Amino acid sequence: MPAHKTYMELVNDAIDECKVSLDPLTSLNFASPPRTILYNLFKKWTNRAYRSILIDRNEWYFRKERTTVTIHPRLQLILPGPGIVSVGNVLEGTSSGVQFEVVAVHSTEDAELNLLTEYTVSVEYVGDPSEADNLILNEKFDRVSPSPTPELGSIKGRGRYSFHELVTGFDELDERSVYIQPTVATASSPSPGDLQAAPSLIALPVENWVGRFDAFNTPSGRPGYIVRTDDGLYDFYPRPNVPYDVSFSYTQDASSMTLYNDTPVLLDPMYDEKIMWGAIMSYADYDRNTQLYSRAKKEYDKWDYIMRRDSLPTITLGLHRFDKSC
């Protein structure tokens, strides 16, 4: 397979095709070129053409990826200030007596602007994981270790999950593809059900979630449902009480090229031509050059047809979900 052209090569090719009286950019002057305005416009047009291709269709094969992440139980804590709770702290509910160790801290926005600090933390429960159900909403918690401290803060709710935080380059989740792997990541004594494969999680609409599954005291365990909440985060039911490995497909983010040797990595190298002609179309529109625009669009449309033919799922009629004929 041929190698990708670099960002600099794509810009220089567009300049050359446009017959603009500019010298080719080099690795030495790409970041701060002479005659900055027109050079920077060509750089912007090239990047815009690349991003436009990526965001045109979420279904592009080259934007699809699959991964597995480990999710822990999460709690939302209210603290009097930042940096008070850190990884490795063991906390204990003052009323329930439930102990949990902080394994990650996730900063969240304090929407209430109430001078308190809210954090979502990933935790592992000390002892029997089923004790997670005994936690009480708004109960105070002490720090058991290190540096024992009474009533350090309070428990505001169960934490939710941001896949942008879990996966670099994440853009959009395919909610129909989420399932629990047949092993538990770090649970010391997984139940037999945790060692078996399971069907994909059922995606619930948020209106069916609120009031039925989002209460603090709903049972915890192996998740069977997933929902995208109104704040754009994700929640599970039952909520996990031990770490689980979760696999899912997702759409990759449409990143930009920045450095001279960056490449349009998500595309097949043969589509570099489409990026170049997209940049030329932008220049021709800027220069009001209808002849060049017509030529560039003809080439761009040719590559667009090839890409849509080869890089989108084939439309088929699927079987009814209850069809047992195969």
For the stretch 189-235, pLDDT in tens is: 555 545 555 678 998 888 888 877 888 988 899 899 999 988 889 99
Over residues 53-68, the mean pLDDT reads 87
Q: Is the pLDDT of residue 26 over 90?
A: yes
Over residues 26-52, the mean pLDDT reads 92
**95 vs 184, more confident:** 95
Residue ranges of the domains in the chain?
Answer: 7-59+269-310, 73-159
User: What is the bridge-based pairing of β-strands 99-107 and 117-125?
Assistant: antiparallel
Over residues 249-260, the mean pLDDT reads 90
Question: Would you state the pLDDT for residue 320?
Answer: 53
List C-alpha distances in Å: 98 to 127, 138, 221, 296, 313. 9, 14, 16, 66, 49
Identify the CA nearest to 276 among candidates 290, 297, 294. Answer: 297
**197 vs 287, more confident:** 287
Question: Would you state the pLDDT for residue 30?
Answer: 94
73-159 is a CATH 2.40.50 domain: no
Please state the pTM of the whole predicted model: 0.77
Over residues 226-251, the mean pLDDT reads 91
